[in-house]
Structure 1
Amino acid sequence: MAEGTAGTKPAKKLVEIDIVSDTVCPWCFVGKKNLDKAVEASKGQYDFRIRWHPYQLNPNAPKEGVDKRKYYEQKFGSDMSAKMANRMSEIFRSHGLEYDLSGLTGNTLDSHRLIYFAGQQDPAKQHDLVGELFLGYFTQAKYIGDREYLLECARKIGVEGAAEFLADPNNGLSEVREDLKKYSGNINGVPHFMINNGKQALSGAQPPEIFLKAFEVVTK
């Protein structure tokens, strides 16, 4: 029976989303939250394939970590840092979350290696892992460079073999660096969303309705 005739359901249209993000970017977490809302609102219409790609806002950040609040104050100044923190707190509360500026920040390379590894197993696991990493770092004062925290997130999501993978610092390194090189020179900031091979490109934490409109455009 031909597709779409009586007795059959037409195949859902495919929406492929490539996201460039850093795990210490609060707007990337907000962007994921808004994307998830749009996906949930349109699940009956589309099949989604979501892939995450690395970006490093501060590639020279120390692996051992530095105080998060002091880092932002040094980078942006006390007044601007306080205003930014207040703004993020408001936005996080709108998603039912409490923004936590305590704890450490630092190099995100290992988190990107883990995200790459999860994607090799299952893109859905990768997407869930990114959310888990964001949640701990931004709301529970977890350190994104802490190996035990990364493994804790991997266990929660069901990423198998994460401890062995991360134990060798070369595992996934060339792939992550290649992806960093590919995207870092082509975008001005994160999060950055490329939908259906760039048919639509969105930058920043767009609201769900913008994503929904983009889904419509790329599947026409």
Structure 2
Amino acid sequence: MAGTKKKFVEIDIIADTVCPWCFVGKRNLDKALEEGNDRYEFELRWHPFQIDPEIPKEGTYKKEFYDTKMGADVAEVFETRMADIFSNHDMTYKIDGLTGNTIESHRLIYFAGLQDRDKQHDLVDEICLGYFTDGRFIGDRDYLLKCAEKIEIEGAAEFLDDPNNGLTEVREELKKYSEVKGIPYFVINGKEEFAGAQPTEVFLAAFEAATK
């Protein structure tokens, strides 16, 4: 209805940049944001989680990593399933390239959030898109900076140059959210909480429930 004030919806998202379910969950959330745009005013905040904080920064091949972590047979089933899910989102899931420690990506996402929450949200998408569909390395500083440049985040290179910038804040959040029951994990207005790459209708129902 014209002139109706939009209801405010604050969304906290706990995720890791190498978690394919987190990226799928984000894309499902994006559809809900689009569908609910005429009724709600959204503010999104991304928070870090690390699936494997011990993985080396220099990286390891994705295929070898998953085969070792899951077992080759289970990893193959997982890869096939993710390929199907990504295809349903008009994306191609690739197991090519390296995976690695995600701390630098989380530092950059934290920095983006200091500038603009919408840019932070878009940066997460850009980083994950290259990692999952183009075999880009999550620990590649140049790649991260190209993502930041595309989203028009200012001062990213200078921020990442100092390895201590944002590190304390990211580590504090990693500790804070270390006990969440699965990722991605979503908190809507501090009321509705759920984990997993839920379908769009789950988000829309949560928006309604959280604004009553």
TM-score (norm 1): 0.95
In the alignment, which residue of structure 2 is the partner of 1:10?
Answer: 4
1:96-175 equivalences in 2 (<5 Å): 96-175=90-169
In the alignment, which residue of structure 1 is the partner of 2:61?
Answer: 67
1:48-101 per-position Cα deviation (integer Å, ceiling 9, x unaligned): 000000000000110000000010001101100000000000000000000000
Match for 1:209 among 191, 201, 212?
A: 201
Unmatched segments (≥5 aa) in structure 2: none
Match for 2:71 among 60, 70, 77?
A: 77
Separation of aligned partners in 2, 1:60 and 1:138: 21
* CA root-mean-square deviation: 1.0
In the alignment, which residue of structure 2 is the partner of 1:194?
Answer: 187
How many residues align? The count is 212
Separation of aligned partners in 2, 1:201 and 1:188: 10
SS of equivalent to 1:40: helix
Separation of aligned partners in 2, 1:24 and 1:151: 17
Separation of aligned partners in 2, 1:86 and 1:119: 34
1:52 aligns with 2:46: yes
Separation of aligned partners in 1, 2:70 and 2:137: 21
Deviation at 1:37, TM superposition (A): 0.3
Deviation at 1:12, TM superposition (A): 0.7
